[in-house]
Structure 1
């Protein structure tokens, strides 16, 4: 076949763009296919900012991936001259839990409610709250991260096609054949990083993926706006006891007006083709509850709202693995609202696996096998 590649990557959001970057960097002949624009706001990786931090991932399967991600984001910044990762510190506030296990493992501070109030008077906490401060935490700029991965992949020889939806694929005697609206392509391997569309792209995926609607909001602070600027405030997270979730937010950046915050919980289930992308009064009220309770100075007029998606697995851990029934297919999916920060390292793992190369990071926790029984019983 004339249009034959070493690897085709289907879906060029956070994971797919990073996978193309790492494949091209290893000298592979790569084709990346995306049904929407590059980058786009139809999936899970838009909205100007995403959290990254280290302390909360100590002693979890994510720990080596977050360490590697920090290295790779800085490497990408060096290649492009763009600031993708903005170090702000990360403040997690709660009235339960302990961080004793972090001692001697990672840089951090544990703060009393009074110490949080002294350092960050923007927050109003009850006396039984405490804070975990991670000095290396910060915000990532998702649109810039995706664009930077794609541009570097293109500069290294990758072929990248936007607005070209995949309509089918099959394994052949010599590899994999991928069909789109416009053409048919062949490859030795294919990587599916289709986000909320993954189980539509791979019939009989074998696991359950649940898509949920996730509103994001920006407000202009009612008082003391400068205290919410980047440099004055860390990224932050605090309980939402009314729904067993957590509020999270970001300092204000100069490229978008408003103080961004959202509710991290698994919201109304949907599917990617029929997601309601219009903001509702209830969406705004969810973040107003946070502002009234914890951050009253920020409780000013709304400047923007957007609707994002989470795609979660049964155990809320991602899948990074070869497909158990298709040895030429590698899959990255189900990042459960926490994927972007890891995307450069997850993309590296997916690229190495597709090429049959040794993995920089061992991965035992994110395999298909742990979920196959759960899908059968769902």
Structure 2
């Protein structure tokens, strides 16, 4: 077979694009396959902005990955002369919680409700709320991040195909064969980073990925619009206990009209092929509740809505691992609505693993084993 590669990457969203970049940077012969456009708005990595921050990951398995991610985003910016990470600070507002465990570990400030009101009068908080401020938090530009990873992979010799869906694959004694509607390819290794479409790959293990519909909204502030611009406002987060979730949002950027906010929760479930991508009145009402209660000056006319997806595992933790039944297959999936910020470093881990190289970051947690145990006892 002439179409032979060191590694084929299937699915070129956040994780797959970063994996192609890191593979090509290590001199591998890479083929990347994506069923949609590059980039696209059918998955979980569109909408102009994503959060990144450090304080919420201290003393968790994510901590070394988030630290590494800031290094890798800045390296990618240096290679591309693009601003992918915009430092804004991150403000978590809540009526509960203690952050004593952060002392001496990461830069942060704990603010009273009066201090939040003085510094950020855009928010109207009850007196019993307080704030946690992370000065290194910021927003990532997902479409630009994906495009930058892919362009740099291409410049390093990777072969990237958009609009070429994988229709089948099999592992042989000497390779993995991947078939599309256009051709048949082989590789020493394959990496599956198909997002919400990964479920079928691991169904035989008894592991289920749950896909949920996630609306995003933009409004034009009713008053004091300049106070919501980037430079005047951090990325932010406020609990939404009535939805068992959290509201979150971003300052306004010059490349899209409106103040973006959304509700982070695992809502209506769906198959990715049949996800309702049309915005509904109740989608808008969810964010209006936040605006009326906490950010009344921003409660202006709607400018846009978009629908993305979350894909979560049973414990809402990702999987980065070799497939338990296929030695030539590595899988990244189940990022549970928090994955984009880690994509540059998760892609690095997937590339190193596929090539059999030592991992820059040890990964003892994000393995199939924990889910297989739960599946076998269910």
Q: Normalization by structure 2: what TM-score? A: 0.99
> Whole-Å Cα distance in 1 between the matches of residues 281 and 224 of structure 2?
26
Distance between the aligned counterparts of 2:267 and 2:219, measured in 1?
21
- Counterpart CA distance in 1 for 2:273 and 2:18 is 24
1:200-242 Cα deviation digits (max 9, x unpaired)? 2455254110000000000000000000000000000001121
For 1:303 and 1:28, locate their aligned partners in 2 and report how far apart those are by CA, in whole Å: 44
Cα deviation for residue 374 of structure 1 reads 2.4
Judge conservation of contact 1:53–1:134 (CA < 8 Å) in 2.
yes
The 5-angstrom pairing of residues 34-73 of structure 1 reads 34-73=34-73
Q: Tell me, yes or no, if the aligned pair for 1:312 and 1:336 is still in contact at 8 Å.
A: yes
- Tell me the distance in 1 between the aligned counterparts of 2:74 and 2:206: 36
Q: Residues 91-134 of structure 1: CA distance to partner in whole angstroms, max 9, x if unpaired?
A: 00000110000000000000000000000000000011000000
Partner of 1:310: 310
| Contact preservation (8 Å) 1:199, 1:205 | no
1:116–1:130 CA contact under 8 A, matched in 2:
yes
Q: Which residue of 2 aligns with 1:147?
A: 147
Q: Is the Cα contact below 8 Å between 1:15 and 1:347 reproduced in 2? A: yes
Q: Distance in 2 between matches of 1:106 and 1:203?
A: 40
Gaps of 5+ in 2: none
Range 30-39 or range 192-201, more displaced: 192-201
Q: For residue 198 of structure 2, what is the aligned residue in structure 1?
A: 198
Corresponding residue SS for 2:242? coil
CA contact (8 A) 2:73 2:84 kept: yes
Distance in 2 (alpha carbons) for counterparts of 1:120 and 1:281: 30
Asked whether the equivalents of residues 112 and 129 of structure 1 are also in contact (C-alpha less than 8 Å), the reply is yes
Cα deviation, residue 174, structure 1: 1.1
Displacement, 1:276?
0.2
**3-state SS in 2 of match to 1:167:** strand
Structure 1 pair 69–78 and aligned structure 2 pair: CA distance change class (3 A): same
**C-alpha distance after superposition, 1:170-209 (max 9, x if no partner):** 0112110000111000000000000000022455254110
Distance of 2:118 and 2:99 partners within structure 1: 21
C-alpha RMSD over aligned residues: 0.8
CA distance in 1, matches of 2:287, 2:88: 22
Stretches of 4+ aligned residues off by more than 3 angstroms: none
Secondary structure at the counterpart of residue 263 of structure 2: strand
Residues 321 and 330, structure 1, Cα contact 8 Å, conserved in 2: yes
* 1:96 counterpart SS class: coil
Worse-superposed segment, 241-250 or 58-67: 241-250
Q: Is residue 320–residue 367 contact of structure 1 (8 Å, CA) maintained in 2? A: yes
Q: Is the 8 A contact 1:168 1:201 kept in 2?
A: no
- 2:77 aligns with 77
Per-residue deviation, 1:376: 3.8
Q: How many aligned residue pairs are there? A: 378
How many Å apart are 1:377 and its aligned residue? Answer: 4.9
Q: Distance in 2 between matches of 1:375 and 1:41?
A: 32
Structure 1: 5+ residue runs without aligned partners? none
User: Take 1:359 and 1:365, find their aligned partners in 2: how far apart are those partners?
Assistant: 14
Following the alignment from structure 1 to structure 2, what is the Cα–Cα distance between the partners of residues 320 and 298?
A: 39
Deviations 1:7-64 (A, max 9, x none): 0000000000000000000000000000000000000000000000001100000000
- Contact residue 194 and residue 201 of structure 1 kept, 8 A: no
Distance in 2, Cα, partners of 1:377 & 1:275: 31
The Cα offsets for residues 271-330 of structure 1, whole Å up to 9 and x where unpaired, read as: 100000000000000000000000000000000000010000000000000011111000
Q: TM-score under structure 1 normalisation?
A: 0.99
